[in-house]
Amino acid sequence: MQIPTLDRAEEIAALVDKIGFLPFFRGEIAGFSVEEHTPPALWFGEEDGPWEWKGPVIRLAHCAYGKFYRGKAMFISREWFPDFANLRRDGYDYDARMDEGIARRRDTYLMEELMHAPSLLGKELKARVCFTEERKKGYEGSLTRLQMMAYITTADFEYARDKYGKPYGWGLARYSTPEQFFGEDFCREAYRRSPGESYARMAAHLKALLPHASDGQISHILLP
């Protein structure tokens, strides 16, 4: 797989659509990340770069973005995310996980808020969940875990603006459930196959895409 130099959000969005999976930061598979194919000057220069492009990429590709890859950020296309979610969730939607008594209480605090709202900024979600000292414990761990389990995705990034309307600072993540973000199509597609079938389908795709990667490296992309 040859990835060209990425110097615009539109190029990253097109690549995510084309290959399906794209880590943001470099990982154990050489050449398989946004970081390795973006000019270094764009990361912390005066012009917009990869940090600022995350929201536009999500909007352009209508893709999932979150801590899906060993706790680090990765884009996953709309085409492949239902299989990814099916595998990571082991076939359970969150309601079923609660019904079976296998949902963590702290995770459920977050999910109850997100399942009843189209999306929430991270600071809004934290304020709704962490209104007692007990609720503050483990919040960040739950947020990461629920992304790794594909129950939460990032819907966009938003910026504070100065008095002239110019954005500044770090982008604030807006979170959603895939069910809310992708809609009815996702709900229909996510559990069409067994988790094992989803794994085999994605592994075959990635192995064709990354022939130099080992089976273990492929599994590290797909399994938590």
8 close to 19: Cβ distance less than 8 angstroms? no
Q: What is the pLDDT along the chain (224 residues), one digit of tens a residue?
A: 788 899 999 999 999 999 999 999 999 999 999 999 999 999 988 788 999 999 999 999 999 999 999 999 999 999 999 999 999 999 999 999 999 999 999 999 999 999 999 999 999 999 999 988 888 889 999 999 999 999 999 999 998 777 777 776 778 999 999 999 999 889 889 999 999 999 999 999 999 999 999 999 999 999 99
Report whether 45 contacts 89 (CB < 8 A): no
